[in-house]
Structure 1
Amino acid sequence: MSNNISVEDVPLNRFHRLLTVRSGGGSFVDGYVLSIIGIAMTKVSPALGLSPFWEGLIAASALIGIFFGGFLGGALTDRLGRRMIYFVGPTLFIVCSVAQFWVQSGEVLFALRFLNGVAVGIEYPVATAFLVEFMPKKSRGPCLATLTILWFAGAATAYLVGDAILNFGGTDAWRYTLASTAVIGALLFLVRLGTPESPRWLISKGRHKEAEAIIRRVYGSGFSLKNLPEQAESKNLSFASLLHSGYGKRMAFVTIFWMCSVTPVFAVYAFAPKVLEALHLSGDWASYGSIAITLLFVVGCIIATRLVNTLGRRKLLLHSFLWSGLALLLLGALRDGPSMIILLMFGAYALFIGGAQVLQLVYPNEIFPTEIRAGAVGVGTSMSRIGAAVGTYLVPISLQSIGIGSTMYIAAGITFIGLIVSWFLAPETAARDLNDAASLNEETEPRVSSGGLNKHRNQY
């Protein structure tokens, strides 16, 4: 029995939910890996006799690794397929995390955490490409947005697990803390067993029979290639060639908006107590404020996840940059104001920036075709980590040299750059078929039928 329903219009099923868990694990590990070192460092430093130089380098090692891993993961995922690269990250998590248990020097610890960062960088392009290429279009945005929430869940778990191990683990507790990532890596490896290859990637390589077999397996015997919106087979164009064919503007949009959204967030999140202290909040105000800001980051992402379809991608991004930028601007102007106003503005920033945060993984997966989708996510991931690293590094220096007011004005300026770029370049992709959203056609109204896609095939 056959039907005419597109696979992008089917209801969310058990496979989709399991795939969200399988892919979301990468974001969870990212939050865990980046947070666990901060918890363990108080014990690691004296145990290994680390100098301040090596402390800073080890703290930044995973971010450096993510930069290289994003490029590598994107290129390999587009060239070798989604399924093969799906297991590279978990394998590296297991091997490198177990090896950290026996580490004896700062240099070796840096190398192992660098490789863990590479694994995280690989995760983003492959996990999100897998998710977007199977997911129904109504669930595509919310499921991709959920990955951002899982990052915070991973960070929170790292704090809870790390604190528990350090309190009850004895002299070598820090070794168990660093090695704990291996447990998550092993679970991620196991839960991904049995994941089929993406039919879209197989079709782009001319492997139609394999693609049809997977479509029947996932969606039922009544489905076939006819139920998948048409796409062109890859002509072995390089990533650079496709960018020159018209996708360069979209790559610029993704890179700039991602950097502008993540740079102030990492800086604020990493140094919330120090920033609050500079704003004359101390004691309980600073302690409770840091907790509240963290919670509001999560709440903001949850709200944005609910709005990503109803409000639309473009409007959500513009509102997110506008209101979060205004909150930072007011923080600079009201730096000597009452404590409650300061916390209110900080909370507003954390809440409103959620829209830009969740769209970091939605946009690059929707506006690029199958043959360069993972590569585009990889580039966005890598470039965003430059902004994260620079922002994190410069905040203490900025607070000391130019003060809290100017620091907040700079953060607001970066956010408004994201707003301006998004105003001119952000497309609307909600409710559009994945191939339609990835085409270079600039129309804003979604097309329900996939039949009209044929005339755009030559564009990608």
Structure 2
Amino acid sequence: MKYIKKELQSKKDYKKAPFSDVHWRVYISILLGQIACGYALGISGIALDQAGSYLPLTNFWTGLIGAGGLIGLFGSIFMGRLADKVGRKGLLMLNMYIFTILSLAHLFVTNLFLIFLLRLGLGLMMAIDYTVGNALLIEWLPTGESGKKQSRLLIYWSIGFILAYLIGSYLGGFSQGWKYSFASSFIFGLIAAVFRSFAKIPASPSWLASRGKNAKAQKVIQRNLGSKWGLSERLLSIKVKNISWLHLFSKNYRRQTLVGGLFYASQAFSFFGISIFLPILLKSMGVTNADMSGILYNGSMLIGVVIGIWIFNKISRRSFLVVSFLSSAIALAAMVFLDISMWAKLGIFSLFSVILSSSLVLDYPYPSELFDVKVRATGMGICIAISRIGAACGTFLLPILTDMGGSQLAMLVCALVLLIGSMICLVWAPETSPKFMKKNEILENEVTE
């Protein structure tokens, strides 16, 4: 036993290994899932707009079905907990196959409640990618690469979201096109599922070590990286504990949990509320060429994500959050209170899209940086679950608010939520970027890897 422990301690930390084949396999597996998730969420509003001629949709059902995927994502709280108990690999090998089946099932369903249940199920499968996928990614990628690679995932998520708008607009030209739009997400789910099966994504060595399975973790590392790499001393010394949800609201984790959830929720309220029901909002604004305006908005979103990635490590995480939220709120308020032309409004609306979408690059790295390996998936699961409450509220309320007071009321409420989010980040958000932390803060906040 002593020999085995000595042998494990003689290895170099696998988190310092150069980027290699196993890292690419893990990364591509997760980014394909992100494309599928972005597409499934983006297609919802398009399909519902098309379904109005075929289904007895009210504002209530439009909002509920539109929010179905986001409500399902609340399951992150359970999926993260499950991943911390049973591991990452098995869940990620299965979820995209179920995602594919649920997508295809839309072809055979016209009952509004059943459509809602399908969207709910898709959201639950996406919850696995959001929580478990990101946990596996940060636990495999080399130190210094995980944050950068995580922030770039938003490019692929945005590609999926924008493809949904383009493909959905095309499919809307067919009879019963809304069914094809909803079901079309199966393409991206199947691609992700098949790749993961052939790529044979590995288990997480960090998770195995956190469960006391050091020898098994070492075998996984050597099989994928070579014999000279192994677990770090910190991982070798981890004491196995049963972590409950309540532990994340203890003194050690309370601030991280609340900030991680509330910043995400305020951002998601406005982003998903506006993005998913963009066609409805544009009609309320009196925009005649909704297709061109939608392409402009979604193009601005992609530009924003690219800009966000560029500045990701150039400013602190905390400043990034505060400035982007406050600027987005000001842009929306300007559209409500300024008496300007329609083209000027579209310009400000595009600027809002650029600013808010730039902050999306923090959605994956920031919450994962807030928690150590023992509670990472559970912590991220709770943060994402809280954020989906915000997203579901925004998606459910936007059609109702637009019906009550037009686009101005909807945008004013979104601006208020973003303002609250910026104040929360200003007062409470911890800094997690090593570049902008003092040495003693880095030691205090260092993840247990």
Report TM bin, short chain: 0.7 to 0.9
Question: Counterpart of 2:302?
Answer: 298
- Report the AA paired with residue 428 of structure 1: E
Q: Does 1:333 align with 2:337?
A: yes
Question: Counterpart of 1:252?
Answer: 258
The match for 2:33 among 21, 26, 29 is 26
Q: Does 1:445 align with 2:423?
A: no
Aligned residue for 1:391, secondary structure, equals helix
Give 1:229 deviation, angstroms. Answer: 6.1
Q: Does 1:354 align with 2:357?
A: yes
The match for 2:66 among 52, 59, 65 is 59
Question: Counterpart of 1:440?
Answer: none
CA distance, structure 2, for counterparts of residue 153 and residue 375 of structure 1: 28
Q: Does 1:240 align with 2:233?
A: no
Q: Does 1:130 align with 2:136?
A: yes
The match for 2:401 among 393, 398, 401 is 398
Question: Counterpart of 2:319?
Answer: 315
Structure 1 segments unaligned to the other structure (5+ residues) = 433-442
CA distance, structure 2, for counterparts of residue 396 and residue 106 of structure 1: 17
CA distance, structure 2, for counterparts of residue 174 and residue 343 of structure 1: 27
Question: Counterpart of 1:368?
Answer: 371
Q: Does 1:217 align with 2:227?
A: no
Give 1:342 deviation, angstroms. Answer: 2.0
TM-score by length of 1: 0.84
Question: Counterpart of 1:426?
Answer: 429
On the 8 A contact 1:255/1:383 being kept in 2, the answer is yes
The sequence identity of aligned pairs, in percent, is: 29
On the 8 A contact 2:93/2:193 being kept in 1, the answer is yes
Question: Which segment drifts farther, 6-15 or 137-146?
Answer: 6-15
Question: Which segment drifts farther, 217-226 or 116-125?
Answer: 217-226
Question: Which segment drifts farther, 261-270 or 36-45?
Answer: 36-45
Aligned residue for 2:347, secondary structure, equals helix
On the 8 A contact 1:5/1:227 being kept in 2, the answer is no
Cα–Cα, structure 1 residues 38 and 342, in superposed 2: closer, same or farther, change >3 Å? closer
- Report the AA paired with residue 282 of structure 1: V
CA distance, structure 2, for counterparts of residue 40 and residue 167 of structure 1: 11
Q: Does 1:283 align with 2:276?
A: no
Give 1:355 deviation, angstroms. Answer: 3.7
Give 1:315 deviation, angstroms. Answer: 2.5
Question: Counterpart of 1:180?
Answer: 184
Q: CA RMSD in A?
A: 3.3
Cα–Cα, structure 1 residues 427 and 217, in superposed 2: closer, same or farther, change >3 Å? farther
CA distance, structure 2, for counterparts of residue 199 and residue 378 of structure 1: 20
- Report 1:154-169 matches (<5 A): 154-165=160-171, 167=173
Cα–Cα, structure 1 residues 159 and 204, in superposed 2: closer, same or farther, change >3 Å? same
CA distance, structure 2, for counterparts of residue 373 and residue 102 of structure 1: 39
Question: Counterpart of 2:204?
Answer: 198
Question: Counterpart of 2:386?
Answer: 383
Structure 2 segments unaligned to the other structure (5+ residues) = 1-6
- Report 1:38-117 matches (<5 A): 38-41=45-48, 50-52=56-58, 54=61, 56-67=63-74, 69-103=75-109, 105-117=111-123
Deviations 1:147-205 (A, max 9, x none): 2222221122234444555557xx67655544433333232222113111101100000
- Report the AA paired with residue 415 of structure 2: A
CA distance, structure 1, for counterparts of residue 48 and residue 257 of structure 2: 37
On the 8 A contact 1:427/1:444 being kept in 2, the answer is no
